[in-house]
């Protein structure tokens, strides 16, 4: 079971882990402060959190505050928070992804994004973002 991304006639099949890795790397490229706030809930042991809803709301405020300070568009933050199981990315969000994906090293661009032997890398997803921006079509996944 995995995720299929589509943008016009372009498709990528990958696992949830690859998509999570891509979004973590993207958050890291924004700034270390942003990245640490973004991944904080992933590193939290909810056994010790009494009010999980408040915890998430407080974390969201923190992430959005840092994003505002760094002039990171909210739409990019919303992409990072989009559901793994199904979602969409607008051409505007794709444009913001491209802004930070330019900071990926050559090695990072060649990380596998998809199933073994698929030939897809993070660069393939970046190319999908370019297609989205150029053709003004959404990237969708399910």
Q: What is the pLDDT of residue 108?
A: 84
> Quick one: CA torsion of 49, 53, 55, 58, rounded to 10 degrees?
-170
Q: Does the pLDDT value for residue 45 go beyond 90? A: no
Q: What is the pLDDT of residue 63?
A: 96
Please tell me the distance from the alpha carbon of residue 62 to that of residue 8, in angstroms, as a whole number: 36
Mean of pLDDT values over 60-65: 96
List the domain boundaries for the chain: 3-141
The pTM score is 0.86
CB 89 within 8 A of CB 79: yes
* Tens digit of each residue's pLDDT (9 = 90 or more) over 69-119: 999 999 999 999 998 888 999 999 999 999 998 898 888 888 877 666 677
């Amino acid at each position: 079971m995995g995720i299929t991304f589509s943008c016009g006639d372009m498709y990528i099949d990958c696992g949830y882990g690859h998509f999570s890795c891509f979004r973590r790397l993207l958050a890291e490229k924004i700034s270390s402060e942003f990245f640490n706030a973004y991944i904080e809930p992933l590193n939290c042991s909810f056994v010790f959190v009494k009010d999980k809803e408040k915890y998430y709301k407080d974390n969201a405020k923190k992430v959005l505050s840092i994003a505002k300070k760094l002039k990171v568009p909210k739409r990019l933050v919303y992409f990072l928070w989009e559901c793994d199981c199904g979602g969409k990315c607008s051409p505007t969000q794709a444009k913001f992804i491209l802004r930070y994906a330019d900071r990926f090293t050559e090695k990072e661009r060649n990380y596998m994004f998809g199933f073994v032997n698929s030939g897809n890398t993070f660069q393939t997803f970046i190319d999908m973002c370019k297609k989205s921006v150029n053709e003004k079509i959404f990237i969708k996944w399910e």
